[in-house]
Amino acid sequence: MKFRLLLLFLIPLLSFAQAKRSLATRKLFDQALEQYAAGNAEGALQLFEQCVIEDPAFSEAYLNISYITLEQQNYSKALDNARLAIKYNQFQSAVFVQAGKCFYSLEQYDSSAIYLKKGIAFGAKSETDYLYTARSLSNMEEHREATFYYSKALEVNSANAVCYNERGKSYFQLGEYELAKADFEKALALNPQSTAALSNMANVLLALGDNEGALEYIDKGIAAADDEQKVQLLILKGNYYKNTGDLENASASYNQAYELDQENAIVLNNQASILIELEDYQGAFEKCNQALELQPEMMEAYFNRGIANEMLRNVQDACLDWEQAFILGSEIAEEYLNSPICTE
């Protein structure tokens, strides 16, 4: 399948470009394609590299070097060659899309989105082109625009369960819970055992106040999940019990999650929140410290540690924690900072 995809990108380029190449260089290029088709990616890579030594303006060869090195997870080299492909062919969608995918692999999502959208403007319109663009935008928290490109991907393939799930996550981030729910339902209709979609459906139902419905999806997800996935579902289960006031079962769920992953800041912070409810303030303080060691900018852990510090009579430290939580975006922390606790 990879070879077929490679050829689909090459055909429009080769129709006019190879006529400009020497016979020897074209033979090297054809040999490289044969090696790739035979499963010898390293041999193909060496031949493509020989092509650009013979002809430094051979855009198609740079592009194929980029394809292979991206597959090999040599992302910097893949990007360098994608840029060289662009240098010598600035009007082909494939070169811009490839650069965008390289930037995506390097987690440079703003550049990824720019190049992918430029590729789309030049005519790229495959499902993966749209999907990479949407994911880049999602990682930039540009969720509204991301939903547009997820929708474009679904126009190409309406049976993509992953795409429905990811668009649903963007709708969730936008607070459009009913749209998110509809997408998670579509994802689960296509793949009923998807733990990601089951987890997301539970999360949106919690947001909609349907706690019992959420628990049903959480339990389905736990039954199908591996240990890593169970952690996220157990967090949701703990949230369900906390929402219903069942602190004992909430604590049990968070503790089960902790047994599976003792370096998960969310689990530690949630354990702290239960310990605060149970008036174990020293235990909550220690859990918050652990969470902040793992995730130093965790707003919720600063807020909860502030409450623990206040109850331990460490008022100055409590106000400093709430100040940091406020700086990180906590609106409720501002109320505490403006209360008599911190203003007297």
Return the number of other C-beta atoms located less than 10 Å from residue 74's C-beta. Answer: 17
Q: Locate the domains of the chain by residue range.
A: 1-89, 109-158, 159-238, 262-344
Reduce the DSSP state of residue 278 to 3 states and report it. Answer: coil
Segment 227-263, tens digit of pLDDT: 888 998 999 899 999 988 999 999 999 999 999 999 9
Segment 93-118, tens digit of pLDDT: 999 999 999 999 999 999 999 999 99
Residuewise pLDDT in 10s, the chain (344 residues): 233 334 334 433 443 344 467 888 999 999 999 999 999 999 999 999 999 999 999 999 999 999 999 999 999 999 999 999 999 998 889 999 999 999 999 999 999 999 999 999 999 999 999 999 999 999 999 999 999 999 999 999 999 999 999 999 999 999 999 999 999 999 999 999 999 999 999 999 989 989 889 999 999 999 888 888 899 899 989 999 998 899 999 999 999 999 999 999 999 999 999 999 999 999 999 999 999 999 999 999 999 999 999 999 999 999 999 999 999 999 999 999 998 989 87
Cβ neighbours of residue 275 under 8 Å, at least 6 residues apart? 281, 283, 284, 287
pLDDT confidence of residue 225: 86
Picking from 98, 104, 93, 70, the residue whose alpha carbon sits closest to that of residue 83 is 98
CATH of 1-89, one of 3.20.20.10, 3.40.640.10, 3.40.50.740, 1.25.40.10: 1.25.40.10
Q: Is the CB of residue 214 less than 8 Å from the CB of residue 202? A: yes
Picking from 263, 195, 84, 151, the residue whose alpha carbon sits closest to that of residue 76 is 84
Amino acid at the residue 218: I
Domains 1-89 and 159-238 share a fold: yes
Segment 16-48, tens digit of pLDDT: 344 467 888 999 999 999 999 999 999 999 999
Superfamily (CATH) of domain 262-344:
Tetratricopeptide repeat domain (1.25.40.10)
Return the number of other C-beta atoms located less than 10 Å from residue 152's C-beta. Answer: 18
The fold of 159-238 is 1.25.40
